[in-house]
Amino acid sequence: MRLAVVLSLVLFAYGCQRSDDKQKVPPVTSTGSGSEVAKPPTGVEQVAPPVDLKSPPADAVKTPSGLIYKKLAAVGDEAAIKRNDTVLINYTGWRQATGETFFTNKGDKQPLPLPLANAAPGFTEAMQLMKKGEKVVLWIPPEIGYKGQAPSGTAPETLVYEVEIVDVVAAPPVPPDLATPPPAAKALPSGTKYLVVKPGTGTEKPKFYDTVTFNYSAWDTEGRMFDSTELRKRPAIVPPYRQSAAMEEMLTSLTPGERTRFWVDASRMTTGGKPVPGMPTGTLTYEVELITIAKGKEPPKTPADVAAPPANTSKTDKGVSYRLLAKGKGGTKPTPQDTVRVHYTGWTTDGRMFDSSAVKGEPAEFSLGGVIQGWSDGIPLMSVGDKMRFWIPGELAYNGAPGKPQGMLVYDVELIEIKARPTAPSDPHGGHAPTATPPPPDVAAPPADAKKSPKGVAYKILKAVKGAPHAKPTDTVRVHYTGWTTDGQEFDSSRKTGMPATFSLQRVIPGWVDGIPLIGVGETARLWIPQELAYPNGGGPQGMLVFDVEMLAINPQ
């Protein structure tokens, strides 16, 4: 089976978490056209090029950037393609130096979509020189042929493409007033400037805990559209509190049908932590249109002592402060290996709620072995029925993790149930529990054909399932997994007990948040997670961690 080589289809949701967005194609490291071009895969159909690859014909056109192109089929009356449009293309790619075909979709029934705003410069330039229905041969030098750097282990090279534009999906128009709000702009209480583009049809505005359906598009100061639900034709469906504070404020000021344009510094459009790799800086321009409001369940009020632990709190050895709010019946407490069901609400120390099972109306279930250190340290202090408040310092929470709340976090937690892991089965002939799973041969480092997520998790799909659904960062999943350190030592495995792990992706290490959505239901993958996305400050195995993960189900409760 040939190695899939897919176009870079990811329009990253930097300011907005696309909680509803199930990507048909996993995010990939971009090279060439914005395509992932690994070492030549075996089994790729070798296609005869239509022209001499090494010597472009005399009538080929060379642009100032170094791009060379020759149109094989031209049309005259189609609209020009713009830099933010998405083109649907059939294409074949060759290495100029060797003539080898590294990818072709000639045998596929569907063209591949390529968002030009996120493609390599050479491809973005070339597509704007073409029209729907045209076919062209491109010689793209390495200076403009890679989105970022050449893939690890390969030398930059000129790539040659034959491209046919089957269709064009036009992007929303670029606003005329990028970067600077016009004099007519109004201000929200935070000072964010906005302009009503289209008035709403009602008077009701969403609460921060309601679930809203909305569309948005976003541009940097150069007019590059770096994110758009409208281009994807899939609106976002998410409570405002799950957005950045700036987006939450904007959404809760709208009425259904209303569309506004607002201007905001990029630093205010993240939900905390390090900026997402590749996110634009400076002033960003957003257009947001509210579609519907679905009423949510009101969460608990912000605690009066959310800013800091009061004097009457206790503290664990690791540094989690806690106070018992209500006592249950006593009895068994969970171990770090158990799975628990809890109701919880979390706030930052400025009083902003960032997560709550109360809004969802059902408890959360997760393994204590896969959550932030502050939870695995604090929840084992509880018995069923206990309600506690925890003040978790940043180094035991999401310290520096992109898109996560930062600093000390405050949680109110009610322990509802403890699901102890079953004892590992013994051999019927008198043996002991199963031995550790042998480490994979590539446990020491990701192999050359491993892909890499934007945040830095290397991954390789070991068993693929065509059309399999993928989890979102807000989902709960059920998986079987085994984990090793890079010296081959197994440190955890659900397979020893035969019981899959169930957990919410909102409460696991950043590497799992980033990596698990790459795995479809029924698929098996290997993840290489760097220390900074695992346990950078202790509390778990150190260094790069390697996991084999089998995705069993999404939202299994």
Q: How many residues does the chain have?
A: 557
Interior/surface letters 187-208, b for 16+ CB within 10 angstroms, e for the rest: eeeeebbbbeeeebeeeebbbb
Specify the 3-state DSSP secondary structure of 367.
strand
Ordered mean pLDDT values, 10 residues apiece, the chain (557 residues): 26 34 30 37 77 94 96 86 93 93 83 88 94 95 83 79 94 91 95 96 93 95 91 88 93 97 91 65 95 93 96 94 94 87 94 90 81 90 96 89 84 91 43 62 90 87 89 83 88 77 78 90 93 74 90 75
Neighbouring CB atoms inside 10 A of 301's CB total: 9
Predicted confidence at residue 377, as pLDDT, reads 92
Helix residue spans in 66-150 (DSSP H): 121-127, 142-145
Residue-range domains of the chain with CATH: 61-169 (3.10.50.40), 186-294 (3.10.50.40), 314-419 (3.10.50.40), 451-554 (3.10.50.40)
Predicted confidence at residue 421, as pLDDT, reads 59
Residues whose CB is less than 8 angstroms from the CB of residue 185 and which lie 6 or more positions away in sequence, other chains included: 193, 194, 195, 263
Predicted confidence at residue 539, as pLDDT, reads 59
Quick one: tokens of 149?
A: 């750097």
Predicted confidence at residue 41, as pLDDT, reads 44
Q: Which residue has the tokens 């529990």?
A: 433
